[in-house]
Structure 1
Amino acid sequence: MTITVLDSYTAMRATLTAPLAERPDLLRRMLEPTAGMYRYFPGTPDLVQLHHMGGGFRADRAVDGALAGLEALHDAQAWDRIEAAMKAALMVQLDATPDIRVPDIQVMIVLGDHADPHFMDVGLGMSGNGGISGYIWLAFWPSPENLARLEATAVHELNHNLRYSNVRWDPETVTVGEHVVSEGLADAFARHRYGDLGYTRIGVPSLHDNAVYDKVIGGLGIRGMQNFAAYVHGDAIAARFGGTPVGLPTGAGYAVGNRLVDAYLAHTGQQAPDALLVDSADVIELAIK
């Protein structure tokens, strides 16, 4: 079991300093080692298009300040910090759950697109995907808030990767409840390591909003990934990816997931690493009694 943080800095710098016409192919070559994270997509997805949709820097047009942003991320030692954080967190997790399956994990760090209002204003300049076993994708714009959370964000995604290397996720039958609880578990693990920096930023504004809590709780039984993005990510992010708004703010499911998992941990006396593989139905049952 190895965690490999890919040298995307060198590849991104080469991409951003190349003639514009050459940049998409250079970016595609950089992304190729993590193509397996899209293995459940129909057909052969375009890696550059998916990179752009996820908030990664543009390779199809020049964006002022992108190279400076990359250097700021590099100067903050993002690659070294994330690698160290993930390896230390893995040891903590294995102390609690020594028999879990741990895949070899490829970690791709990319510069976010600071010219994309959705990425910067809705997503607060950061995004991650760790739910596909063996792959973690992280996008950052190097604001002070995001640089402070590099380790916590990476550890959140590591928690997802370890959970879904051992717990089956079926896109057709998975529930809102499973996804919401998984976000709460990942934040709880990140908070176990880094305190309040472990809260996913988009969920913080709704942490104590009881109307948001009640609406998400009412949707916990909805099945099928295609049906529930807004309950987890909120209307604006769901709409970005073709989902249906339901009247929820950005990060609603993260806020509710934290409340559910905190209630579960308090009830059971467990720490976050102990709960990695807990059945989401058990969390919900105990938390909302």
Structure 2
Amino acid sequence: MNELKVTIVDSLSFYRKCLQEKVDEQAFRYELMRPLEGMWRYLNAPLTPKTPGGYDVVMASEMLGIWTPRKSTELIESKVEPLSKTNIFNECSEVIAESAQLFSEIGYQIPVNEFIVDILLGDPENKVLMASEGYSGFGGIPGYMLLIVVPNDFNRTRLKSALAHEFNHNVRFTYEPFNHGDVSVEDYLVIEGLAEVFAEELYGIEHRGPWVQQYDQEELEYTIEVMKDGREARGFDQVSAYMYGDEVAREQGYQPVGLSRNAGYTIGYQLVKAYLKNTGKSIAEATLTPSAVLVKESKIFD
């Protein structure tokens, strides 16, 4: 039922060109970022700055941990071919087809005709990116998915799972749109928990991302209590502190709330697992369920 068009940006050719000749910011804007112009427009990041030195897709990319030509090519020269050898460029369409099939099985017609995938080299000097084993993604705008990768032995086998995670975000936000300016901690727990359980169902727990931590029972119970008290907090600074933990909060200038790394991802994962166990629903059905229902029926905060 869900037969989707998948467009994969040819970022490898761009990076190979960067290693052979001088490539400037304009090429980055128009070769790598223009296919995502609809996404960037939604995020208020223009292709070119409105004033010299102003906010644009280059600055936004660097904030996400993406390598840009403003930085030395020495940072990526040993990364281009390893990224190619992960085979994710050849596997993209298969991942999206397998992911979409779970929604076809429950009769959900995904209201997006085309998915644009941009697989980008990360900046090895970005501390937040490297703290998550050198890979990350963004799937907050339906129809667009980013993977950001500094290829290594850990992440090279997990990129299919990471793409499925971002695809789940895409589908979730066709059902319950993501309000970037007013998202709550509780909303974010659900969003990330759904995505990681979805990826795990497709590609196995052995390919789960590093953002889900193994807490012992004492730390798990403590973290759930902190989340319970803070789950109505809103604003990206507060949400980030709960989701990423104190170390990243300090790194980004946010107020720590007393949590370990990736606490929100870990509790979100536990929440969705509990919901599925308690209800017998599938992960695709859960993805199309209101956040409040997921939280209530998970009973994780009871």
TM norm structure 1: 0.90
Distance change in 2, residues 1:228/1:277 (3 Å): same
Secondary structure of the residue aligned to 2:213 is helix
Amino acid aligned to 1:8? S
Q: CA deviation at 1:176?
A: 1.1
Q: Indicate whether 1:159 and 2:168 are aligned.
A: yes
Amino acid aligned to 2:27? L
What do the CA deviations read for 1:201-248 (whole angstroms, capped 9, x no partner)? 122244853222321232111233353111122334445555433232
**Greater alpha carbon shift after TM alignment, 65-74 vs 206-215:** 206-215
Residue of 41, 66, 71 corresponding to 2:81? 71
TM norm structure 2: 0.86
What do the CA deviations read for 1:117-149 (whole angstroms, capped 9, x no partner)? 3321x2220111101111111101111110110
Q: Which runs of 4+ in 1 moved over 6 A?
A: none
Any unmatched runs of 5+ in structure 2? 47-54
- 2:276 alignment partner in structure 1: 265
1:1-289 paired onto structure 2 within 5 Å:
1-19=4-22, 22-29=23-30, 30-42=32-44, 44=46, 45-64=55-74, 66-120=76-130, 122-206=131-215, 209-210=219-220, 211-239=222-250, 241=252, 243-287=254-298, 288=300, 289=302
Distance change in 2, residues 1:126/1:206 (3 Å): farther
**Greater alpha carbon shift after TM alignment, 263-272 vs 50-59:** 50-59
Distance change in 2, residues 1:244/1:59 (3 Å): farther
Aligned length in residues: 286
CA distance in 2, matches of 1:82, 1:214: 39
Secondary structure of the residue aligned to 1:164 is helix
**Greater alpha carbon shift after TM alignment, 224-233 vs 186-195:** 224-233
Question: Retained in 2: the 8 A contact 1:97–1:273?
Answer: no
Any unmatched runs of 5+ in structure 1? none
Fraction of identical pairs, as percent: 29
CA distance in 2, matches of 1:72, 1:215: 40
Q: CA deviation at 1:65?
A: 5.2
